[in-house]
């Protein structure tokens, strides 16, 4: 008769541990929330006399890759909350991923270079690399959605998914 109670207690401990682990994983994951808090908006708006020229925002923000920006005045690195872009350089798993990743990076640089206004809306979370997770709006348009529409990114689903199939082709 003692054995069923031991199994019940063991099962309860196991279920409790799984629940705690699930909550912790969700709390520290890169999963996008429904929306950013509007009170956490940071603006990198160009001065009025520079709005017609390119580069005013670009002088403050550096594009690291298609989904990562650095605010050079505050030494903060931002990871776009809602997209995943292909890797570049040696982190790419195939030539097709590297090529698309380079195109995504160049598109992000162009968007930042031509921006009159760039808004960063941090979610209040950091990713595992210490980057601030944020929505990025360029001239009022979501940068992630723009890159997705151009075929240079895909929606972020909480974890990195492969871009290459076993033959070195892009996975749609």
Give catalytic residues, as residue numbers.
79, 87, 131
Question: What is the per-residue DSSP string for 61-110?
Answer: EEEEETTEEEETTTTEEEEETTEE----GGG-SSHHHHHHHHHHHHHHHH
Give the Cα separation of 159 and 53 in Å (integer): 38
Question: Burial of 91 by CB count in 10 Å (0-12 exposed, 13-18 middle, 19+ buried)?
Answer: exposed
Q: Find out whether 46 and 117 touch, Cβ atoms under 8 Å.
A: yes
Q: Which long-range contacts (CB under 8 A, 24 or more apart) does 53-56 make?
A: 54/113, 54/114, 55/113, 56/116
In the numeric block, the tokens 């019940």 are attached to 8
């Amino acid at each position: 008769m003692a054995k069923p109670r031991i199994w019940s207690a063991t099962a309860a401990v196991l279920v409790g541990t799984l629940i705690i682990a699930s909550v912790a994983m969700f709390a520290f994951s890169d999963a996008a929330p429904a929306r950013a808090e509007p009170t956490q908006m940071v603006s990198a708006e160009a001065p009025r006399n520079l709005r017609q020229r390119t580069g005013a925002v670009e002088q403050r923000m550096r594009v690291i890759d298609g989904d990562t920006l650095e605010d050079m005045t505050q030494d903060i690195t931002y990871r776009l909350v809602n997209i995943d872009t292909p890797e570049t350089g040696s982190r790419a798993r195939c030539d097709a991923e590297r090529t698309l990743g380079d195109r995504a990076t160049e598109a992000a640089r162009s968007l930042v270079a031509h921006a009159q206004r760039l808004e960063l809306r941090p979610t209040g979370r950091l990713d595992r690399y210490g980057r601030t997770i944020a929505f990025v709006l360029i001239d009022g348009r979501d940068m992630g959605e723009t890159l997705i529409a151009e075929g240079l990114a895909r929606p972020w689903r909480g974890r990195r998914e492969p871009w290459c199939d076993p033959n070195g082709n892009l996975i749609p």
